[in-house]
Every structure is written in C-alpha cells, then in structure tokens.
Structure 1
Amino acid sequence: MAVPVVLAQNGWRTDELLQRIAGTSKNETFDFVNLLIGVNNQYQNKNHETY
C-alpha cells in the first residue's frame, strides 16, 4: 500500500492549493484525490469568483 501524499495545509485558499499542485512533479500520478473545501477564501475576504 502506498503512503498518502498531502499537498495542502490547513487554512489554505484555493489559489494556494493551485500553486502547490503546479509545483509538483509532472510525473506523479494519483489514483485517489480527496478535496475538502471550506470557507478560507471567504474568511480572508477573497473574491468569490476565485473560489
């Protein structure tokens, strides 16, 4: 069984997650992805279109 890879950190906005994903190796593939969307964009007064 493979060890899970965590790309994000608690409290990140969607733009921070996208930056992290863009910085990962293009050779990595994932069989399963879990994304929990919260209210960090709203809490930090970011534009709703970005969310």
Structure 2
Amino acid sequence: MNDIPLIVTTDWLAEHLNDADLRIVDATVFMKFPEVGGAPTVESGKASYS
C-alpha cells in the first residue's frame, strides 16, 4: 500500500477497509452564501459529526 491515493472512490475504500495502514480523514466543510451580495464563508462541519 505504498501508493495510497489522497482521494478514493467508495469502491476502493470498501476493498481496503481492513488495511492496517489505512487512515480515513473527514474534512467536511460547508459553504455559507449570504442572501444578498458579499463573499461566501466556509464553516467547519465538525458540529455535524455523529
């Protein structure tokens, strides 16, 4: 497993879930768009973790 890609498909993940060197990182973020004008902001998705 020397060449683990940074982003994988769900099929790849299902095939490798038991690999000892596998690490899964959830980097969820949400884009918040203002109703009128202005730049969007990025909000952590940590509060949505279950």
TM-score w.r.t. the length of structure 1 is 0.28
Q: Mark the structure with the bigger radius of gyration.
A: 2
**Greater share of strand residues, 1 or 2?**
2
Q: TM-score with structure 2 length normalisation?
A: 0.28
Question: Counting helix residues as a fraction of each chain, which structure ranks higher?
Answer: 1
